Structure 1
Amino acid sequence: MRAHNDMATARVSQEERFRVAAEVLGMLADPTRLALLRLLAAGEQDVNTLAGQVSASRSSVSQHLGRLRLAGLVHVRREGRRMVYRVVSGHLSGLVDEALEFADHAVRGIPHHE
């Protein structure tokens, strides 16, 4: 019976991993959110600083950061009157980097790695 339970737990865990991964990839499917995560990988930044680096308004950047926060992909802390954001994981930063590397190959016609 234990082997059956272990397999059921492994299956649920695997399904949960795929579900969470799909949700994360869905959040990365927006160019502005992808750009924000790329910028935050370099370190903490506030909304105004981020808005000055992407082609989006301050309110749009704030909304995207709110979505990323609700999805658990960024942390926020108050620093005086400013809200400062940071990416939650080096794994997420690596995922963003890999997606951009893949895009570079596709856009520039560079053969993909085997």
Structure 2
Amino acid sequence: MPQSFDVVLTLANRQIVDADGTNHGKVDDLLLREDGDGLVVDAILAGFPAWSARLGGPLGSWMLRTWNLLTDTRPPDVVPFSEVERIDSAVHLQRGAKVPENLLERWLREHLVAKIPGAGHEG
């Protein structure tokens, strides 16, 4: 990976893919720190809490409050940038990396999709 790159063009909204090729949501925000004259990416933030915080404003605040009412209040998933193997059209994680759990997707699957007739695995 290059030492210097445009984080918005390179990382924003890219799919997060584990070593087995499974998709695990998107890059919703980044954890940055100052280092000398520039910024360094410390971690990738994923999940609805990170996305709604990045959205900001009244809409983002309302969405985050609503999410917290529907689920356990949880912080965004954090993937240390050291666990990134490579970046192309997606962000590929190294084998054994902590994979973020897409809470919104899980909630929708458990509370909406599972209740649709025929959505299960019954014959």
Q: Which has the higher helix share?
A: 1
Q: Indicate the TM-score class for this superposition, using the shorter chain for normalisation.
A: under 0.3
Q: Which has the higher strand share?
A: 2
Query: TM (normalized to structure 1)?
Result: 0.26
* Higher relative contact order, structure no. (Cα contacts within 8 Å, ≥ 6 residues apart): 2
